[in-house]
Chains A and B, each alone.
Chain A
Amino acid sequence: MASQATARIRNFSIIAHIDHGKSTLADRLLELTGTVSARDLTEQMLDTMDLERERGITIKAQAVRMSYQARDGQNYEFNLIDTPGHVDFAYEVSRALAACEGALLVVDASQGIEAQTLANVYKALELGLEIVPVVNKIDLPQAEPELVREEIARVIGIPAERSILASARTGEGVDLILEAVVNGLPPPQGDSEAPLKALIFDCKYDAYRGVVVYVRVKDGRLRSGTQIRMMASQGTFTVDEVGIFRPAMVAVEELTAGEVGYLIASIRNVRDSKVGDTITELSRPASEPLPGYRQVSPMVWAGLFPVDGDDYQGLKEALDRLQLNDAALTFEAESSVALGFGFRCGFLGLLHMEIVQERLEREFQLNLITTAPSVAYRVALRSGAELEIDNPDQLPEVGLIETIEEPRVKLEIVVPREHLGGIMELCQERRGEFVQLEYQPPGERALLTYDLPLGEIIHDFYDQLKSRSRGYASMDYQLTGYRAEQLVKLDVLVAGNRVDALSVIVHRQQASGQGRKLVQRLREVIPRQLFEVAIQAAVGGKVIARETVPALRKDVLAKCYGGDITRKRKLLEKQREGKQRMKRVGSVEIPQEAFMAVLSLDR
């Protein structure tokens, strides 16, 4: 039973597919509750990074508190928590949802429910959240609100009449949504007098104030001066300030059970404030932490190298800066014969990698080469030693190796029945082992489970999944363990020189096929040189595929310059600059895209 104080709090998030109108709806709620005036409303308030706005995805969670005077005459406190929206950030999503009691499910009235959305709905249902469906964009001419209502009823089991029809753009129905938040979502439970338990659902680094921790207080109270302990990471701190998001940070005296807000406690590193961790009081600790905490660790690694060697220090500083705000990012120095000095970086997944890469290039003006991503392998040597490698180039000689184990995942895919065949085929191609198949009653959807090597899903699996299901399949995966396999290192030789940054670890049976495709792809991206260049793929020193880039046939301008030598010289100066951006191996110049060639292999 909710106490008097928590009865008028509603904590909720919005679950929606990209472009179904989540941000517009959030903006409208902020406006109608007077949290932000229409004048101050920048488009899509909650996605603060340029990158987020452009890609239409949320990378960091956001929170905002709104006051709403309901039709029952009471004032309610709404906390809207915006969640990231990609499989790479599945864990972060689950923690943001765990901070809520309910969710608005926003579905485009002309598109219907999408698979990725469904995965998050199931996650929310699993966490016991109440769902209020909103059929949005009903003002569009092609809108079919009733059909979408029925679909929601069929797939999720929420009666059609409970789906609210609305248009965030025109404002129609938004009042109903606000009322539904009051009446359809439960208030938080919790006891402000019990020992403190607060869930960390995100944090960010602020240059002036240090780490700002986003918390949901489940039990107890948080106020400035409280001595706190992080139950998983064990750190202890004294709270300097607690506050709420309106959406700017506003200090308050205390946060009590059921409330969402932030705390600042001279925490210097985001690693000391782990998402999913439970904060308790040092002097009166909770007996056990909140459930669901998971150590977040990188799943894939790739080398990041500055194109211009002089940018190495700049790259280091930029990574340091990003890491302040990104606990999942790891990096350590590495050097490559082909690429020089750079960093081996660990990421949650490929999207995370792309985001980091893009931010480094955009926010820090760095020009980077990224090598093909790899997973971490466990290698047992004949000598009895064991090592873990996340860079294929570090694999010891074949003769020294006893076994190589690769990480495996339990992969769950939700897919409409008609695309099941194609998706199962994809899993088989990626060395997947079938675990089980269930149909989600009462719908047409299959829940497919496979046991498969992580290395097989980090490249283009997600894209393939989407293209083979016309966008309808969604996936989630969890690391399950390691298994020894017949794995080999595929090396690439350019003009007889091994290019360390191009080595990949593949299954023995796939080596020749992969090798052939890799050299073909490289032949396309390596420009002709003054001499013929052989590109070879080799396993254990044995060449298994070869292509040749023919020598440049003609590169001379036989034209009349007249006396305009300036033009000729400027062209040459420009070409010379372009040349500096190429990487060289032996006597061959290799363009940046070659190092990502392995990613675009069409299997």
Chain B
Amino acid sequence: MIAEAERGPAAGLYLHIPFCETRCPYCDFAIHLGDDQLHRPYVEAVVRELDFLAASGRPPGGLQTLYLGGGTPGLLAPPLLEQLLRAANRSFGLADGAEITLEANPAGLSAARARGWIELGFNRVSLGVQSLDDQALRWLGRNHDGATAEAAIGALVQAGLENFSCDLIYAVPGQSTERFAAGLSRVLSLGPSHLSCYELTVEPGTPLARSVAAGRSRSPSEIDFAEQHRVARELAGEAGLVQYEVSNFARPGRESRHNLGYWQGGHYLGAGCGAHGHLGVGAARRLAIEAEPSAVGVRYWNLRGATTYLRQVAARGDGRRGHESIAPEQAEMERVACGLRLRAGVDLRDPAQLAGARRLGQLGLLTVAGNRVAATSRGVEVLDRITLELVSSSRSPVLA
């Protein structure tokens, strides 16, 4: 199965649309502020890059998942979105029943707009709610209030979209666990099929990081994280959404297939500034990316700046900035690290790791059934440490 995946073309495609109306101080994604004039040339560049990437090969049956993320892809005018979908289809084909996701923000979202997206072929929307609490939203520097976010969810429902996800941020300084819980309950009552709960992370280089360093912003506390993470799991569970990954919850069958691909080691193409791709060595070679002889895969990443990306695509067709060969042991490390984040867990192959997992099982942190290892609800809270112990099991005292 792996051998085939190594040779075969990727069945997932990510398109990065960097445009945003405002900069959120915590965000470290590649974004580009309020420059509507750039929308069309940018989309044309992505289309050109898709033509370039087509050389990697068409997956049999077409793309299984297509994800437009950002930035705020929902800001693009419908004709531009259509142009992107057509280009993806032209280069790779879209499978029947493919999951086609659009990320959008609450500001300006109406039922009519959502209906337009459905007509274009999008069948899933990921909505950047972040919070319903006005105070928290202000702290996060969002350009919408709680009422707007609620209305936006209503618009999706009204448009007849059943498969949509809400993004929420927790551990916002100053927000009590009670207020977070109240907001989350309200969101869940509006019926999303999927929920992503991310903790507020202070990423280096962001305005938030500078603000924390200067003492203007409080840094979130460990207690808030643990408590609010637990609350998220409990409330989502009560609403029938299962935690299938550390920060993702879904009604069974409504997991994000595209994101699951990331965690399960799947291959995907990325286009647009700041996008990442993961390819088999064969597909990579067809794009003239030469891997080390021992590599089992290649990861690549595009230029982050929208304008430098545009220039490079115009000059040579692709937006790639760099790549790395994935050695077998690195692939194994990724497989274990990503797999453990999933509710389903991962099969461990290394006897030392498996023995270690049993030990951690005795501490109530993991369940072990045969070779299959998965984190318990307590284990999820310290999963990064567990992963570190397992991937360094030869030197790990806990596992000795």
- Taken residue by residue from 189 to 203, chain B's Cβ proximity to chain A (1 for < 8 Å, 0 otherwise) reads as 000000011110100
Minimum CB–CB distance from B126 to chain A (whole Å) comes to 10
Q: B32 in the interface, Cβ–Cβ < 8 Å?
A: no
**Number of CB contacts from chain A to chain B under 8 A:** 113
Q: Does A565 contact B (CB under 8 A)?
A: yes
| Interfacial chain B residues near A75, Cβ < 8 Å | none
- C-alpha spacing A580/B391, complex, angstroms: 12
Asked whether A565 lies within 8 Å of B226 as measured between CB atoms, the reply is: no
CB distance from A337 to the nearest CB of B (A): 13
Q: In the bound complex, do residue A557 and residue B14 qualify as a contact, i.e. CB atoms below 8 Å apart?
A: no
Is B383 close to A, CB under 8 A?
yes
Closest B residue to A590 by beta carbon equals B397
Please determine whether A565 and B398 come into contact, CB atoms closer than 8 angstroms: no
Q: Which of A566, A588, A589 gathers the greatest number of chain B CB atoms within 10 Å?
A: A566
Question: Contacts A565-B334, A572-B391, A575-B388; is A557 near B381 (CB within 8 Å)?
Answer: no
Taking a contact as CB atoms under 8 Å apart, the answer to whether A588 and B388 are in contact is no
Please tell me which one of the listed residues A555, A563, A575, A586 contacts residue B270 in the complex, with CB atoms under 8 A apart.
A563
Given contacts A573-B333, A575-B388, contact A553 B14 (CB under 8 A): no
| Chain A 571-602 near chain B by CB (<8 Å), digits 1 or 0 | 01101100110001111110000000000000
Given contacts A558-B229, A563-B276, A563-B277, contact A530 B337 (CB under 8 A): no
A470 at the interface (CB under 8 A from B): no
| Given the contacts A530-B360, A554-B226, A561-B262, A569 and B333 also touching, CB distance less than 8 Å | yes
Q: Which secondary structure characterizes the binding site on chain B?
A: mixed
Instruction: Encode contact with A along B334-376: 1 for CB under 8 Å, 0 otherwise.
Output: 1001100000000000000000000010010100000000000
Q: Are A553 and B301 in contact (CB under 8 A)?
A: no
Q: Is the CB of B385 within 8 A of A530?
A: yes
Tell me the bound Cα distance from A560 to B26 in angstroms.
12
- Does B247 have its Cβ within 8 Å of any Cβ on chain A? yes
Closest to B330 in A: A569
- A559 within 8 A of partner (CB): yes
Q: What are the residues of chain B within 8 A of A573 when measuring CB–CB?
A: 333
What residues of chain B lie closer than 8 Å to A584, measured between beta carbons?
397, 400
Tell me if A440 is interfacial: C-beta within 8 Å of chain B.
Answer: no
Q: How far is the CB of B225 from chain A (nearest CB, A)?
A: 5
| A39–B204 alpha-carbon span in the complex (Å) | 48
Q: Looking across the interface, which residue of chain B has its beta carbon closest to that of A580?
A: B395
Q: How far is the CA of A563 from the CA of B266 in the complex (A)?
A: 10
How many residues on B have C-beta within 8 angstroms of the other chain's C-beta atoms? Answer: 51
Query: Residue of B at shortest CB range from A556?
Result: B383
Contact B247 A558 (CB under 8 A): yes
- Interface residues in A313-359 by Cβ distance below 8 A to B read none
Contact B337 A554 (CB under 8 A): no
CA gap between A19 and B265 in the complex, in Å: 62
Docked pose: A586 CA to B28 CA in angstroms: 41
Least CB separation from B392: chain A residue: A576
User: Given known contacts A530-B363, A555-B383, is B334 in contact with A579 (CB within 8 Å)?
Assistant: no
Report how far A529 CA is from B399 CA in the complex, Å. 13
A558: B residues at CB distance < 8 A: 197-199, 225, 229, 246-247
Q: A530-B398, A556-B384, A566-B301 are in contact. Are A572 and B333 (CB under 8 A)?
A: yes
Chain B residues, CB < 8 A from A586: 397
> A562: which B residues are within 8 A, CB to CB?
14, 29, 69, 262, 276
Interface residues of A (CB under 8 A from B): 529-531, 552-566, 568-569, 572-573, 575-576, 579-580, 584-589
Beyond the given A530-B363, A584-B397, A587-B397, could you list 7 further A-B residue pairs with CB under 8 A, ordered by the A residue number? Answer: A557-B246, A558-B197, A558-B229, A558-B246, A563-B270, A579-B392, A589-B397
- 30 pairs across A/B with beta carbons < 8 Å? A530-B363, A530-B382, A530-B386, A531-B363, A552-B382, A553-B381, A555-B383, A555-B384, A555-B385, A556-B229, A556-B246, A556-B380, A557-B201, A557-B246, A558-B198, A559-B247, A560-B196, A561-B262, A563-B277, A565-B338, A568-B334, A569-B337, A572-B333, A576-B391, A579-B392, A580-B395, A584-B400, A587-B397, A588-B397, A589-B397
